[in-house]
Amino acid sequence: MARPSFPLLTERLMLRPFEDEDLEAMHAIYGREDVNRFLDWEPRSRDAVREWLDRIKTMIALTPRGDGLRLAALLKGTDTLIGDFSVWRTSREHQQGELGFVLHPDFQGKGYGQEAANVMLRMGFERLRFHRIAAQCDARNAPSATLMERLGMRREAHLRESQFIKGEWVDELVYAMLASEWHANH
């Protein structure tokens, strides 16, 4: 059901489901303090990443149980895994989805985030048929907010101290795009 064919290709990237062999590359991303700075996670151990990979590698389609797509982004024509991109269902009844993106710091600042996240929005609206896709970030996470704006998402809310993360109250920004907005521009 609603399962795209993989890999998905962009100008410079290839996106495909996660595999057990991605353990080292994923640990190289999620084991870092800087990557987790604005995420509600602490840096993860190799074992924690292995366990987690087991779950996320099954996120390859919308199924009656839920889920969505969670894909590894690789530089096209190489085995270099540079990031983790996802679009998943948050409400079946209301056809709502959410977008997530994480890049290894060595590959930030090159436009790869925008390239991969744009494909995930396309999948979310055109294959998974979401009515609205939202994304949230810590209000201090400027690269994330900028990326959402570059994707054409609207800032819908600035929630004051809506979360208590890593010992402090943090503001959260909510961005979203509607299917009608996507189709008007693509």
Ligand X SMILES: CC(C)(COP(=O)(O)OP(=O)(O)OC[C@H]1O[C@@H](n2cnc3c(N)ncnc32)[C@H](O)[C@@H]1OP(=O)(O)O)[C@@H](O)C(=O)NCCC(=O)NCCS
Residue ranges binding ligand X (CB under 6 A): 35, 38-39, 101-103, 108-114, 137, 141, 143-144, 146-147
HEC assignment per residue over 59-90:
CEEEECCEEEEEEEEEECCCCCEEEEEEEEEE
Closest separation in Å from C-beta 1 to ligand X: 28
Nearer to ligand X, 25 or 35 (CB): 35
Residue 7 contacts residue 22 (beta carbons within 8 Å): no
Closest separation in Å from C-beta 143 to ligand X: 3
> H helices within 94-169, ranges in order?
112-122, 142-150
Nearer to ligand X, 107 or 182 (CB): 107
Q: Which two tokens stand for residue 105?
A: 């710091």
Closest separation in Å from C-beta 122 to ligand X: 16
Nearer to ligand X, 66 or 143 (CB): 143
Nearer to ligand X, 61 or 152 (CB): 152
Closest separation in Å from C-beta 146 to ligand X: 6
